[in-house]
Amino acid sequence: MSSFRVLIADKLHPFLLNELQKKGVQCVVNETISQNELIRQIHKYDGLVIRSRLTISKGVFDKADQLKFVARAGSGIENINIKEANLKEVLVISSPEANAPSVAEHALGLLLSLLNNIHTSSNEVKKAIWSRNSNWGTTLQGKTVGIIGYGHTGSAFSKLLTVFGCEILAYDKYKSNFGNQYVKEVSLNALQAKADIISVHLPLTDETKYYINNEFFDKLAKPCYLLNTSRGLIVSTKAINTALNQKKLIGVGLDVLEHEKSDFEKVLQLKSNSELSSLLNNKKSIITPHVAGWTHESFKLHSVVLYNKIKATLNL
């Protein structure tokens, strides 16, 4: 019988709990545990499973006397202090492959809606406005799509695009030799020089915060569409508004905003922030509430992926 104790500190599909218990792992589920209570209790556990609600800080690791792993259901691990995890020899696990197809499909949905004015024309029809001439679309076939960040979601997005007859360019600072018959590996400058559409698939780090800014837009060779389904703080809202006003951007599809709270459950100053308000009221923008990675299927798959990784970590 296993002597491992694991704290599941957020809402996850029951698959993970059920399978760990079958292996004899003692699991405690506390989906509402506070940050302070986590610090007080963490010394009891060999493993911790979270989403984005909690911050696994130095204070947590300082009290984590027997912790072997932190498992994050999702792709981003910016809420985990990786330096402290390494110092304490705690393995950090995540499940980016679980929701990559969902994020890719959402990004494609945003793109097709932007290109074909689906969101604006639908709202018009609901208001009894039947305007065909003002809602002509733009064909995706033949366009050049630039993907920034070629990890799980970036590569999943490229696979969906292959059937549309696009030219697909991809830039990743930390990867090379990933090009294939459908995707051409390029420099960032080359991508900015040619892309009709740019889709961002980056993790949030000190290096990528406000990666998409005024300087980035100034380097575009022609007006384009921008998609962001990664993290809100990677793209400056103010820079987007400027680029839209200067016609450097034709339209934007965002699933994330820089004004989100750290747990992604709310947006700060949704109505009072002038830059955000301007973006929300722009007909050339589509904004969804950070749901690209969450489908009914991915909700379970996160637990399946984490279970397999935890099982390997603990040699269950």
Catalytically annotated residue among 19, 78, 258, 260: 260
Task: Determine the distance from the C-alpha atom of residue 286 to the mean position of all C-alpha atoms in its chain, rounded to a whole number.
Answer: 16
Catalytically annotated residue among 53, 72, 78, 231: 231
- CA torsion sign, 241 to 246 to 252 to 258? negative
- Helical segments of 27-151, H only: 35-41, 58-63, 82-87, 96-115, 118-126
- State both tokens at 161: 């695009």
Q: Is 260 considered catalytic here? A: yes
C-alpha 285/C-alpha 175 separation (Å) is: 31
Q: What are phi and psi of 157, to 5 degrees?
A: -65, -40
C-alpha 262/C-alpha 112 separation (Å) is: 29
C-alpha 49/C-alpha 18 separation (Å) is: 14
Q: Is 275 considered catalytic here? A: no
**Are 144 and 193 a contacting pair, CB within 8 Å?**
no
Q: What are phi and psi of 146, to 5 degrees?
A: -105, 125
C-alpha 30/C-alpha 149 separation (Å) is: 35
Strand partners, 180: none
C-alpha 53/C-alpha 123 separation (Å) is: 34
Active site residues: 231, 260
